[in-house]
Amino acid sequence: MKKNVNIRQIAIATFLVTLISGCRSNDDYNKLGEAGIQYIDAVNLLLDESAKTRVDLSSEQILANDRISNIDATQYTITADSDRKRIKYINLVMQHNLMLKKYFVLLQELANSDAPQKAQTQIEKVAKNMIALGSVIRKDAAIDPGSGTATLGSGVNFIVKLQIREALKQELEKRGKLISNELKIQEEALEDIGEIMLQDKEKISKLQENRLVVRSIVSPNPISDETGWIKIRQNILTMTIMSENLKNASSTLSNFRGIFESFLEGKSDIKSINIFLSEVETFVKLVSNKK
Amino acid sequence: MDMTPEEKQLLDLDKSRDENIQKLKDLEDELYSSVNQAWFEDSDNAIPEEKKDFTSKRIKLSNLINDLDTIRIEKIAEKFRENESKLKEGIDELSTTLGGISSSIDTLGQIGTLISTIANILIVV
């Protein structure tokens, strides 16, 4: 009878705390944290690619100018400094993103915390030891702690889980708007940096076409490796299409703000987060294949 | 949504700036075209001073365009910087929550051990 009362009490407490902390499970928060981490990694991959693209473009330009008239040290230094400045600001954005990633990592750690299991183990240990201590004090025979400690342990497990969920909910209530604003700036960054990168890649494509395709075909000497020349030409002429695909794929990353805001409003579901994660995976593969 | 005159002015300025940058980029494309490149590379077509002058102008233009694009990225970095202290606050609070939970469980474990030790001492006594 007493056991039934305990279970009923725990059920009522569960219902009340669930009402207070909303309908999100710890797994939902975990998934949101995972999506945030994957999103930031993908954005930083794009930023890294854009920095490398910039350096590749200026290298092509330096070589093109040097073929006409010898580049001097000052001209080279001015170009390199201009590149370094670009890399510096891209790096600042990447560093900031790592901070945002840290936020999502902690959110996920909290949602994934093994604290409920640990608390259950510890409370069961305390209960058993207290029963043993009581027996010693009363000089009784050792009493079997029975299933009471297990029920107590399960209850504590559940309550700690709910407390964690409440902490997660409060955290997002407190800083949800800030993170949403962060993601809005990320969208601008993806749009601007994506556009700059696409233009840089188009210029690289033209310069490489001139250096590796046009020069050899207009030269009076026959091309020594014709198959190689065809392959190079194919790679260069399709580079722009690949870059456009990358730009389009990067725009799907912007969907994360919608997912995050829906989550705050209690609308987003695990399915939409999973779809987003698979889009991020496609984007990462696209960037990795280009390397 | 109606814009204030100031907002409209800013929008027009942005548009005008983007159009001017695009003109510079089109000029850069033209200067680096394969036709221009081939013509200047040919030693019969231009004297060294002309070549030097042409490449100097191209380098200046390319660096100017790069710097203008970099300003766009710099502005994004500035916007992020404005949020940084609040974001750090969130990270610190989450870390504290995680640390607090871990510490409570450790305390619970220590209480269990203490009770067990007391029981063992009492048995011996």
Mean pLDDT within A137-155: 70
Residue in chain A closest to B45 (alpha carbons) equals: A68
CA atoms within 13 A on the CB side of A247: 18
At B57 the pLDDT is: 96
- Among residues 98-137 of chain A, which lie with CB inside 8 Å of chain B? 99-100, 102-103, 106-107, 109-110, 113, 115, 118-119, 122-123, 125-126, 129-130, 132-133, 136-137
What is the structure's pLDDT at A151? Answer: 76
> Which residue, chain included where needed, has tokens 């494509």?
A205
Contacts of A253 by beta carbon, 8 Å cutoff, 6+ apart: A39, A42, A43, A46, A190, A279, A280, A283
Distance of residue A283 Cα from the nearest chain B Cα, in angstroms: 22
**Are residues B80 and A92, on separate chains, in Cβ contact within 8 Å?**
yes
The residue-averaged pLDDT of A88-95 equals 96
Contacts of B29 in chain A (CB under 8 A): 203, 206
The whole-chain average pLDDT of chain A stands at 86
Query: Which chain B residues are within 8 Å of A78, Cβ to Cβ?
Result: 59, 63
* Angle of CA points A32, A108, A183, to nearest 5°: 45
Q: Is A103 helix (H, G, I), strand (E, B) or coil?
A: helix
In this structure, of A112-126, A188-202, A221-235, B58-72, the range with the lowest mean pLDDT score is A112-126
Whether B59 has its CB under 8 Å from any CB of chain A: the answer is: yes
Q: What is the pLDDT of residue A106?
A: 95
What span, in angstroms and rounded, lies between the C-alpha atoms of A257 and A182?
9
Cβ–Cβ gap A206/B32 under 8 Å: yes
pLDDT at A3 over 60: no
pLDDT tens-digit readout, A243-273: 888 888 888 888 899 999 999 998 878 888 9
Q: How confident is the model over A127-137, as a mean pLDDT?
A: 80
pLDDT score recorded for residue A291: 55
Q: Is the pLDDT of residue A10 over 70?
A: no
Mean pLDDT score, A285-290: 79
Contact A247/B at CB under 8 A: no
Cα–Cα dist A115/A3, whole Å: 25
Amino acid A21: pLDDT: 47
Structure tokens at B101: 């939970």
CB A219 within 8 A of CB A162: no
Q: Residue A137: is its pLDDT beyond 90?
A: no
Q: What is the pLDDT of residue A5?
A: 47
pLDDT score of B46? 84
pTM (2 d.p.): 0.83
Say what the pLDDT of residue A9 is: 60
| Residue B44 scores a pLDDT above 90 | no
